Amino acid sequence: MTLRNIAIIAHVDHGKTTLVDKLLQQSGSFRDNQRVAERVMDSNDIEKERGITILAKATSITWHENRINIVDTPGHADFGGEVERILNMVDGVIVLVDAAEGPMPQTKFVVGKALKLGLKPIVAINKVDKADARIQEVVNEVFDLFAALDATDEQLDFPILYGSGKNGWMANSPDGSPEDGMTPLFELVLKHVPEPHVEEGPFSMIGTLLEANPYLGRLITGRITSGSVKPNQTLKVLSQDGSTVESFRVSKIMAFRGIERQPIEEGVAGDIVAIAGMTKGTVADTFCDPAVTEAIKAQPIDPPTVSMTFMVNDSPLAGTEGDKVTSRMIRDRLMKEAEGNVALKIEESDGKDAFIVSGRGELLLAILIENMRREGYELGVSRPRVVFQKDLSGQTLEPIEEVIIDVDEEHSGIVVQKMSERKADMIELRPSGGDRLRLVFHAPTRGLIGYQGELLTDTRGTAIMNRLFHSYAPHKGEIVGRRNGVLIANESGEAVAFALWNLEDRGPMMIEPGWKVYEGMIVGEHTRDNDLEVNVLKGKKLSNVRSAGKDEAVRLTPPIRMTLERSLSWISDDELVEVTPKSIRLRKAILDPTARKRADRSSKTA
């Protein structure tokens, strides 16, 4: 039985996970009567809800006595750390490109990494049945992209397939027959992707994916570089500097067979397996025979660009909705996350009750917060801040992102204006078909925090924005943030409909009648640029005098729904998001109004 290891890489929503579904079905991995969820590889609850892939996952299919290990990768740039790690497990990549959108920023990012490693690409043009498909133009764009990324002549001579992953077919030409299903793709993988390169010597493997299994403990997944491994064998773990982390006995070896992970009696060189039994070994460590002395070099991971402060929830409502509230619990959870996610960096603050968490982007950190609140954690979170660097001359550098915005022509003016306010430089403007324009900018990450919602409002929900880290560049100066102030509750209690109704002319509310509020909590957005303290507990004064007219009915305007991502990007530097399993509240960092004014005065004089 021959073996192939491939990864499927593409931009978000170009159809990677759906394609894997069809490959599994047509290879016979499912029984004919087996009930299988749509996008079976998206196993995480948040992945299913949002329709995006967050964690890289492996599966294995058998086709005509050949085993093909497939890795499904995330499409969002924020989860690029996941993608970079898995590329050292594979020997070829399927680059999936939407026939209408063409290659997008994340495609460019991952393809660049894959080409540097010398991987052989297969290009699959997906969704060719779309009404706005522009197949030949997209093929030319892919070739130009490969050339711009310094692909070798061999890599530029890539084979191309056309088809529809959703309908379960791929063919050698755009008007090929759907009757063959995925057979052309299977045949091309076996013909074009080389068998795994195997080195001589005793067992060695670099850890690529780490997970915690409730029955087996820590499970490390990777591709075996040399030798073989059996259960009960003694192995040691080497860190990147060559020092020994621990020695352990292998308790179980697991390998994917379809979507199920099954125990096997021996893992051989070239195969992708998961090993259980260690207590300290982690991602990028080398798991090897005791005779091995040198660690396998791991691919360097790009640095984090955004950081947030996670702190113990100290609001008056702390501990009423979650059961994990102490700094020790939060610290343990963050350290556990950092072990398996190499794109995260955790630092403790001086007071030990707050942690600075740095990552690739707001979405990566927002997913971490969402996972924590579902597990019962309560915490306060600051506004995302960019991670600055200093060059050799001491000049401050900030992260710059390449931003691609597809927008209707009528809305392009407001997009250009808003991006220029955020210190962005326009690089390219070109038509992208159907009265739409594609705008390409280089913009500081600082200016993009919170822009997604504003962009959708400005363009009536029609714009599509994609971002990708580009480089570090000199600091571009001050960027004006949120222009409106906030409405702050001045007492603790339950909000009253009559009070909210009377405050409607002050600005839109974020709370409903009956919600618990406390002093210093943000209850709405002020129409002006200053903060205003308001009383949302004030009920109507009742008397025994009957009035001639009927009382006015209280009809409230629906409040603004603040999701976690929207809250994180909306708050100012002196505000926090209080996250609990049931609620997301906004508050001032300093709840006491007198202390808040004193701190404001001292910051202005400093």
Binding residues: 13-18, 126-129
Q: How far is residue 593 from each of residues 2, 126, 527, 528, measured CA to CA in Å? A: 71, 57, 20, 19
Instruction: Please choose, from the candidates 333, 220, 202, 338, the residue with its C-alpha nearest in 3D space to the C-alpha of residue 285.
Output: 220
- Give just the sign of the alpha carbon dihedral 147, 152, 153, 155: negative
Cα-based torsion angle of the residue sequence 561, 566, 567, 572 in order, rounded to the nearest 10 degrees: -130
Helices 105-116 and 135-148 sit at what angle, rounded to 10 degrees? 50
| Cα 118 to Cα 120: distance, rounded to the nearest angstrom | 7
515 vs 16: CA distance, rounded Å? 42
- Give the SS3 label for residue 414: helix
DSSP secondary structure of 197-263: P-BSSS-EEE--EEEEETTTEEEEEEEEEESEE-TT-EEEEE-TTS-EEEEEE--EEEEEEBTEEEE
| Beta bridge partner(s), residue 220 | 210, 275
Angle, helices 183-192 vs 16-26, to 10°: value is 100
Contact (Cβ atoms closer than 8 angstroms) between residue 94 and residue 72: no
Bridge partners for 358 per DSSP: 307, 345
Cβ contacts of 81 within 8 Å, gap of 6 or more: 301, 302, 341, 342, 343, 344, 360
Residue type, 434: G
Is the Cβ–Cβ distance between 122 and 92 less than 8 Å? Answer: yes
Contact (CB, 8 A) for 182 and 173? no
User: How far is the C-alpha of 527 from the C-alpha of 524, rounded, in Å?
Assistant: 10
Whole-angstrom distance, CA of residue 107 vs CA of residue 104 = 5
Token pair listed for 476: 């571009």
Feature table: binding site for GTP: 13-18, 126-129
As given in the structure block, the two tokens for residue 557 are: 């305007």
**Token pair of 253, please?**
């070896």
Q: Which is it for strands 252-257 and 160-164: parallel, antiparallel or unpaired?
A: unpaired
Q: Are 384 and 569 in contact (CB under 8 A)?
A: yes
Give the DSSP letter string of 137-177: HHHHHHHHHHHHTT--HHHHS--EEEEETTTTEEESSTT--
CA angle 188, 190, 87 (to 5 degrees): 95
> Is the alpha carbon torsion for 413, 419, 421, 424 positive or negative?
negative
Which burial class, exposed, middle or buried, applies to 428 when counting CB atoms under 10 A from its CB (0-12, 13-18, 19+)?
Answer: exposed
Tokens of 574: 């002196």
Helix (H, G, I), strand (E, B), or coil: what is residue 484?
A: coil
